[in-house]
Chains A and B, each alone.
Chain A
Amino acid sequence: MQLETQPISPQADSGRLWKRFKKQKMLHLFVGLGMVFLVIFSYTPMFGILMAFKDYSISSGIKGIFTSDWVGLKYFDEFVHDYQFGKIVRNTLVLSFLKVIFAFPAPILLAIMLNEVKNMAFKRFVQTVSYLPHFISWVVVVGVSYAFLSADVGVVNKALMSLGFIREPLNILTGPNYFWGLAVGSAIWKEMGWWTIIFLAAITGINPALYEAAEIDGAGRLARIRHITLPGMKGTIVVVLVLTIGSILGGGLVGSNFEQAYLFGNSINNPTSEIVQTYAFKVGLRDGRFSYAAAIDLIQSVISVVLIFSSNFIAKRMSGSSLF
């Protein structure tokens, strides 16, 4: 049997190419299988975006996507003039930005604190307990929040009232004033410990000699955090930030906006909880206005792509590290 030890160059002659293809036929089969799934799951629905520019009705089935009449930007125009447009766009943007501002730095701070802990048992314990909430579903989180925050039977309201901070119970779960705080707070509660794993790993990768040298030079704990730990985490922070900003409209990395807005949402807090995705779901899958919903969805997808490319570009320019 002949061994292929020479590196394979792209300009290999056709005979060798064929031989390699035959040798790697299993790899091609793997790829083929995977591609079938990728094409069906992710790429085919992209053609469906056409319907945002057409008058599609579900009765015409799949081929209706191609045969129905073009209407240009009619549905985009309709969305902009929708009486709920202002509310929905504001809620989506506010919720997304609040999450980046508050939920993104939280695990970085926790990771820095954990790194300074010398007692390994305590460190492990804090880490394990704090990432436990990541593993439960938003459905359960909402169920649990009822026991804590509900106006009539919630523990928090009971405690605040008996301590005399409030006279009337707060309608945290239903009041429109509380929804953003509720969403951001529960996102931090659920995901902070989880993302700490990644940042802590980044810190572990820092050369310990740097810390020793800094200590000899007389740098205190805070100085070491500022001049060694933070710069050492920079690459990871940038990558996670780019990912967060790219998916910001969907909720970033700390829990999907859709799940939160749908499960915590109700008719009373609707003025602050209705977001683009819940609205698209309601008008699309529930009311059957597919073209309209596809148009609404498309706006969000396009903005997300623009966000991820621009944040990546800026990150590359400013810090030298980037996602791609």
Chain B
Amino acid sequence: MTHSLHRSGSIESLRGDYVWMMYQTRGINDSNIPEKAREIIAVAEACDSENWGDVKVGSVVAVPPEELKKILRKESRVRGVFTSRRQVVKFLRGVKEKDTGLSMIISGLLDEVLPACREAGVEPHTINFSLGVWGKKELLPGDDVMAITTMCGHHMISPDFVRKMADAVRQGRMTPGQAAVKLAKFCPCGIFNPVRAEKLLAEKSPGKAEAGKEAGGTVA
């Protein structure tokens, strides 16, 4: 999967968006995963991770955290999101100290993540570099909508859903925070950043420039 790599948006907005992920390798370091995952979650919670989850059971915006921790399994892959470099540094120091032996990944702006690694005393091993979007780019929605849809890299959040939520905010039927949480519930991994989404919904009214495009459906 490269579901956290190609998040889009302004540089300023992306400075508030860092995905963390925990990975085991089948048959090599996949023993005691629920216990190790709970250790990593404890570190993430101490760093005020804005969202976290496991794709198989959902994220904390939809399922109570204590319930999620109980149902972790050998196959669980826990991941979440931070909004600041400070949190990333604290998290990396914490997981290094826990020494679970699991692979840890931070996805974000390289001019933030690499200094964070140095500060935390960990060394990059391998990087997947994003070269952006190629091909028939005229099929893409506007940048402001895509800044939100790409926060669920599996694309469980459609551009029309974002426009629907933006309309609800503009019309005063939802707060930006409520709309952000509703969007986040569709990202089962827990890497959707509700804090960044709330800001984008409040500041930019995504989809406004595309008002003439087919939005489809009624607003709930």
Q: State whether these chains interact.
A: no
Instruction: Spell out A's residues near B (CB within 8 Å).
Output: none
